[in-house]
Structures are given as C-alpha cells and as structure tokens.
Structure 1
C-alpha cells in the first residue's frame, strides 16, 4: 500500500535532493544494522518523509558519515542518522512485517510468510519499545480484515483506518505536537489508501476484488478521475494545514516539496499511463 510519499526531484534544489537522499541512505543503513541485509529490503520513501518531518520539528542533530554501498559501488554516499532515523526504521519494520503477513493471507505467498518469519525476533524487539504504535498497526490489520469481510462500501470509513494507523506512527512523542502530527498522519494515511485504491481500481473491478472505490463510483455523479482528484486534493489540503501549523524551519522546503508536489507524482504517472492506453486503443479501433 505504501510508496506514494516521495519528492519531486524536477523542482528540488540539488542541496535539498542530496539532504533527502542522505536521510534515505541513513534509514537504509539503520535497517541493515537492526535487521541485517534483509532489513534493507523493507526500505521505502514514506518513512524517509517521516524522518525529515521529525528532524525538522525537533531540530535533531545528525551523525554524518560516508559509505560505499553495493548498489552504488563507484561513488560514496552521504549518510545522515539521528533519533528519528532509529524510530522510523522501527516503524518501517512494523508496517512491512504486517504487509508480509497480509500478503501471505491473501495470496498464500510462501516466500512472504518465510520472510516474515525471519523478522519475528526483530518485531518482538519493537513491540517492547513501541507498544502503542504496534497496537495501532495490529488494530489496523484486524479492522481492515473486518471491513473487507463485510464488504464495507463507505470509502471514508475504510480509508480512515489507514489514517488512524499512520496518525499513531507519526505521533513519535506524546508532547505538545502530538495532536498536530497525529492529524497530519491521519490525512496522509487516507490519501495513501485512496491513491492505492485508485491505482488498483481497474484490476480489482476486473477480478471482482474488494475495493470501496468501486462502490463509491456507483453513487457518484462524477467520473472516477474527477472524484479521486477531489478526494486526494482534500486529504493533502488537510495535511498541508497541519504541517503549516507546526513550527518547522529546518528542511521546510523539502517537506513542502513532498506535500505540495511529490505526493502527486504517482497520480500523474497513472494519468499518463491511462492516456497512452486510451490512445493505443483508439488507434486499434481505426484499423
């Protein structure tokens, strides 16, 4: 489900791009040190955003180093690590672990089950450190199973489950900023769910798989693209409001790049893909 929260490199300064990459590499290295090489296979950009957000809010100090990694053997990579990196690595593990279990249940993919088994000890370690966040993810998985089993048609209710889960993950410390971070995470979680449902819409409808967006379209006067654009814009508008209320100066430009532009990269890609498919079909019809 994750993988939608990223930067737009086309409109980002080189300095900011390198900074974001340094946090991404830091997350990769922390996953490796915590879980071994298998931990690096869990890496995603969504948690990199969380690192930058928490670093900016709490003005954390980075430990800086340079490494040569297997994927980029010819050039050294800058690595930035701080407390938020440690936290995001553990949250990355929690979410990835449950995604693997979910894939096993849905697809009977034995490789996913085996991979999850390899992470059991690492997951147990995180349970002790972050019981609130672990409980939130476990509740999310349980409630998601329930809404799918009963065929819940209310898109807002279903998307809200992802929002509640991500809201708890964004709430790192229970302090004066917790509610704003929880709100930001809530609407970002809803955005992620709706984007995922939008991406899977055609395939889910063809295979008759559960997707509440299919039901939403039956009751909407708008076409699917218009409806989804409205919903996604509404979610990111709320995210942006929460962000702008936070006293963040450090890395503010990077965070705005993600919130106002980067999150739309996948949507624009899907739109382009759809237009190309339509043009191809039109050409076939003319022949």
Structure 2
C-alpha cells in the first residue's frame, strides 16, 4: 500500500490515537524481530488499518508491551501485538518483495534489485507459508505490469488488478466473513490505486511515465470525475465494513475509512489551490 490508509488525527480522541500508534509500533517491533532492519524498512501506516480491522473482527487476544527503539531511544513506547500482527508483518514483507522485484524486471531500478536481494530469502519462507496470498499478489502484479506495457487507459481494469491483490490479503481466514472481506479489500485496493495515480500524475506527465489518468486529465470535468470515482470506491468499501460485527476499536476504523483516507487528497487539493493563487498573482503583476 502507498500511505493513503491512515487516521485523521484531529478527528480522533487522544486515547484512540495512542492505541492506533501502539498497533503501528507493535507491527514495527514484529518486523524487526522477524526480519531485521530490512523488514522494518517496509513498514507503512496502511498495514495498521488491516491489523486493527482483523483484530476487531476476530477478537484476537492482544498483549501490551513497552520497548525503546531507535526512533524513541529515551522513552519506552506502548506496543500492541497479536497473531494478526504476525500475519500483517509477513504480508508487508511479501508485498514489498514483489513490488521491488517488479521494479527491477520492468524498469531495471537498482533500488529494486538491492531490495529484492535483501528480502529474497525471507520472502521465500513467507511464500511457502502463504501460497494463496503469494499467488494472488504475483498474478495481480503481473496483470498490472501487462496493462502498463500496453499503455492501457482502462482505469477500471488497471485499478481492478490492485483490487484483486488487496482482496486476497484481507482474507485472513476462509470463513463466513470471506466474501465481505474480499469486497472490502477489492474496493479499498481500487481506491488506493486511483489515489496513487492521481497523486503521481503531474510527475508522470513531466517524466513521460505511464499513468492511467492520462486519457481523462485534460477533460473539463477531470477533477469531478476523480472525486466521484474515489467516493464510489470508498463508499463500497465502507458499506462492506459496516456488515462486519466489529465493536473493538470501531471509532478508529471509522475514522480511517470516513476521514483518514482523504488526508492525501485534501493535501493535493490544497497544493493545487496554492499553485493557482500564485499563478494568478504572477499574471496580475
């Protein structure tokens, strides 16, 4: 994931924000213990949402710990961890490994080659442990890579590739909640993909890189189309979430789905507004 599925801190109670950070720090701790520094380098806030969601759904027994770390060497930090944290750490590393592998194969990025080498042995163990998720990630990224090579402007198809990847990740167990979790993950994945394309568009246009929004960005109602698409995806995702019997930390989860996922969008809009105002001032001069 790309750093879009986070909390909206101003709208969250302090006790809930501290708990959210404790889950995040717990994931960081598990990544360090299981995969060392290279594992910690894959850490993102997005995965915290999955941990809290699945912990709430399955009411996993969670233990509280206190540890110092390189970021907080003086004061011990509260950390929450459970079996879901272990699973999320494995998926975090697996996603990072395949992403870096694709970067090397498709674009010959040195960073991708180095990162892939660092995680290869660790990822191999995860692949053996979670073959279903591994196959889905590999297949989805392969389909996405094919779309990019074909310069596909079919946004539904390209976003759907990432949606399929995410839906498999959210299926922690094949049980009565499987289909709901699949749909939640699928629409969240499409939201993330579209948001990432929207975020990167200016840079991709400047560098002449692939972006599935190239076809519509010059249309008069481009901004309206993007907002409508994002609203549709997160509305579908939230509708599936509300079907789940989540009671624990439900305020944190709703904060993320109804407010936090829009943090980056608001930042982009603010930047565009400031840029427009600066251009207007220059023209007036």
Shift of 1:178: 0.7
In structure 2, C-alpha distance between the alignment counterparts of 1:50 and 1:246, rounded to whole Å:
14
Q: Which residue of 1 aligns with 2:169?
A: 169
Q: Which residue of 2 aligns with 1:74?
A: 74
CA contact (8 A) 1:165 1:189 kept: yes
Shift of 1:106: 4.7
TM-score by length of 2: 0.96
Could you say what secondary structure the match of 1:136 adopts? helix
Given the alignment of the two structures, is residue 268 of structure 1 paired with residue 257 of structure 2, yes or no?
no
In structure 2, C-alpha distance between the alignment counterparts of 1:271 and 1:75, rounded to whole Å:
37
CA contact (8 A) 2:100 2:111 kept: no
In structure 1, C-alpha distance between the alignment counterparts of 2:150 and 2:212, rounded to whole Å:
11
Could you say what secondary structure the match of 1:66 adopts? strand
1:236 to 234, 252, 255: 234
Shift of 1:71: 0.4
Cα deviation 1:72-111 (Å, max 9, x = unaligned): 1222100111011011001101111122223334543323
CA contact (8 A) 1:3 1:44 kept: yes
CA-atom RMSD in angstroms = 1.3
In structure 2, C-alpha distance between the alignment counterparts of 1:47 and 1:239, rounded to whole Å:
16
In structure 2, C-alpha distance between the alignment counterparts of 1:106 and 1:281, rounded to whole Å:
37
Q: Which residue of 1 aligns with 2:29?
A: 29
In structure 2, C-alpha distance between the alignment counterparts of 1:45 and 1:248, rounded to whole Å:
20
Q: Which residue of 1 aligns with 2:275?
A: 277
In structure 1, C-alpha distance between the alignment counterparts of 2:200 and 2:69, rounded to whole Å:
34
CA contact (8 A) 1:167 1:184 kept: yes
Given the alignment of the two structures, is residue 17 of structure 1 paired with residue 17 of structure 2, yes or no?
yes
CA contact (8 A) 1:154 1:216 kept: no
Cα deviation 1:218-244 (Å, max 9, x = unaligned): 6x6x52221111000000100110000
After TM superposition, the structure 1 stretch with the greater mean CA deviation from structure 2, 231-240 or 99-108, is: 99-108
In structure 2, C-alpha distance between the alignment counterparts of 1:250 and 1:114, rounded to whole Å:
40
Q: Which residue of 2 aligns with 1:145?
A: 145
Given the alignment of the two structures, is residue 62 of structure 1 paired with residue 67 of structure 2, yes or no?
no
**Structure 2: gaps of 5 or more residues:** none
Could you say what secondary structure the match of 1:65 adopts? strand
In structure 2, C-alpha distance between the alignment counterparts of 1:258 and 1:243, rounded to whole Å:
12
In structure 1, C-alpha distance between the alignment counterparts of 2:233 and 2:272, rounded to whole Å:
23
CA contact (8 A) 1:155 1:216 kept: no
In structure 2, C-alpha distance between the alignment counterparts of 1:163 and 1:33, rounded to whole Å:
30
Cα deviation 1:116-150 (Å, max 9, x = unaligned): 10111110010111101011110111101111111
Q: Which residue of 2 aligns with 1:286?
A: 284
In structure 2, C-alpha distance between the alignment counterparts of 1:107 and 1:279, rounded to whole Å:
37
**Structure 1: gaps of 5 or more residues:** none
Q: Which residue of 2 aligns with 1:51?
A: 51
Shift of 1:217: 4.0
